[in-house]
Amino acid sequence: MSKTIYVLYGPNLNLLGTREPDKYGHATLADVEKLCRETADRHGLAVEFRQSNHEGEIVDWIQEARATDAAGIVINAAAYTMTSIAILDAILAVQRPVVEVHITNIHARESFRHHSYISKVAKAVICGFGIQGYALAIIGLAAIVAPRKG
Ligand code: CA2
């Protein structure tokens, strides 16, 4: 198993930090990438960081994570979380721990955001901590894939 974790970002999250800061904060996607790399580095992991507005490309990357023997996946599939059986199926096939992250608490928002296909197959779900949720997800994954002694 490699020491790389895939951090996958779904549609519209390329806009992070530029619109709706009241909901999603002021940090940009580049800031999130930096946070993920620093957190992973502290735990002896590397990061493959990707964002796409296209469902199929996200499916391709989940398959790639298996093909490259990645240690796990952190995913915020954004609106595809609530709609994509294709992403659900890809996660079922990947056979690696997957942590679902949302910047906002999706359960405190509109009812159409309450149902997640990904939650059904994820190892863990983190929502509502803003971008710190990514650091928490990486720390949790590190504990699963490379438990520390003592
Ligand atoms: O809270 C989250 O992380 C979400 O996954 C964000 C998605 C939303 O569809 C989910 O229900 C919850 C929306 C991402 C849109 O991102 C933007 C960021 C900045 C400005 C505009 C959109």
| pLDDT tens sequence across 4-23 | 999 999 999 999 999 999 99
Alpha helices for the chain (secondary structure H): 21-24, 29-42, 55-67, 85-94, 132-145
Span from the CA of 72 to the centroid of ligand 1 (angstroms): 22
102 within ligand 1 shell (Cβ under 6 A): yes
Q: What CA–CA distance (Å, rounded) separates 142 from 147?
A: 7
Q: Mind listing the pLDDT tens digit for each residue in 69-124?
A: 999 999 999 999 999 999 999 999 999 999 999 999 999 999 999 999 999 999 99
Residue 128 has pLDDT above 80, yes or no: yes
76 within ligand 1 shell (Cβ under 6 A): yes
